[in-house]
Amino acid sequence: MRALQVRELLADHAGAGLADLAVPVPGPGEVRVRVRAAAVNFPDLLMTSGSYQLKPDLPFVSGLEFAGEVDALGEGVAGWTGGDAVVGGNRFGAMAEYTVVPVSALRAKPDALGWDEAAAYPVAYLTAYVALVRCARIEPGEWLLVHGAAGGVGLATVDLAKALGARVIAAASSAEKRAALARLYGPDAVIAAGPGFREEVKALTGGKGVDVIFDPVGGDIFDESTRCIAFGGRLLVVGFASGRIPEVSVNMPLIKGFSVVGVRAGEYGRRFPARGVENVAAIDALAAAGRIRPHVHAALDLADWCEGFAMLERREVVGKVVLRP
């Protein structure tokens, strides 16, 4: 089978490349899936150089999430049959014609989604759901500011927030991305992500500020966000794409009455397994009902993986890139 294999941890993905590998055999409690599409996520890029917290033993096959068809069952697996359409995630292994995962990592593909969209939604929308519903407890009519709104998780957050009835301000870095956001999801406002956004946010909210801020960027964006959050607001820390981990003087949340909340969707599910199951069921139900619409920026053949990775590195992607093995 074709697979994107990482053989050495090197800069610029130099240790990764297409390989012809044996089709894996599922063990007890495992399922083999014929992969139809695998999403590209930033951790996939980081793992090729050993820059991510998860460091699989070499060599390994890249890829966190996928959509495909059940191909073979390991001993003791029930509930699935060959040809069932599924989505799933594992810590690696998805960017191949076949992948083997624990049966617990699979769920039925929503009929409303094609292969590409199904591969693109599980991680991003789960993060968005945990952030907005579990951590922020967002209410219909509340104002939400989404930074990095054109990225995979940011776009999912905009989409989900609209489905939940929030009023959404989407911030993105380029005119092209802002135009795409307005066209695809129709947020209540689309603004530039540069310095000075707080004044625009205050004007849009009648001087009140936003109730919830979704921040995967950190750095100066976080600093300025503390200046346009409403009293009682929730500032969600999702990541630090800017490269700088910010700090906040505690007098700020004291005076303005806001909370700073860390968002780790996977860890949330591990800490609270029952709620984790509910979270996954909730986004699947929204997808099945057509209330969320994952956006695929580009769908490429697995042989073009390097270009797919480069699209993310150039920060030009609106939504997700997927690879078709």
The CATH number of the domain where 18 resides is what? 3.90.180.10
Nearest to residue 280, comparing CAs of 38, 65, 33, 37? Answer: 65
Residue 74 lies in a domain: yes
Q: Is the pTM of this model over 0.75?
A: yes
- The per-residue pLDDT for range 204-238, each reduced to its tens digit, is 999 999 999 999 999 999 999 999 999 999 999 99
Cα dihedral value 19, 20, 25, 31, nearest 10: 60
Q: Please, is 114 exposed, middle or buried when counting C-beta atoms within 10 Å of its C-beta (0-12, 13-18, 19+)?
A: middle
Grade residue 288 by pLDDT with cuts at 50, 70 and 90: very high
Residue 277 lies in a domain: no
- The per-residue pLDDT for range 5-40, each reduced to its tens digit, is 999 999 999 999 999 999 999 999 999 999 999 999
The CATH number of the domain where 243 resides is what? 3.40.50.720
Indicate whether 107 and 131 sit together in one domain.
no
Indicate whether 108 and 222 sit together in one domain.
no
**Number of structural domains found in the chain:** 2
What is the span of the domain harbouring residue 56? 2-121+294-324
C-alpha–C-alpha distance, residues 175 and 191, integer Å: 9
Measure the CA angle with vertex 183, ends 182 and 188; round to 5°.
Answer: 30
Residue 31 lies in a domain: yes
Indicate whether 136 and 159 sit together in one domain.
yes
Residue 111 lies in a domain: yes
Per-residue model confidence (pLDDT) at position 95: 98
Residue 183 lies in a domain: yes
Indicate whether 132 and 259 sit together in one domain.
yes
Residue 272 lies in a domain: no
Which residues partner with 144 through β-bridges? 168, 212
| Longest CA pairwise span in the chain (Å) | 61
Range with lowest mean pLDDT among 22-36, 41-55, 62-76:
41-55
Residue 225 lies in a domain: yes
Residue 289 lies in a domain: no
Grade residue 42 by pLDDT with cuts at 50, 70 and 90: confident
- The per-residue pLDDT for range 229-286, each reduced to its tens digit, is 999 999 999 988 888 999 999 999 999 999 999 999 989 999 999 999 999 999 999 9
Indicate whether 151 and 234 sit together in one domain.
yes
Indicate whether 241 and 130 sit together in one domain.
yes
Mean local confidence (pLDDT), 190-200: 93
Indicate whether 130 and 179 sit together in one domain.
yes
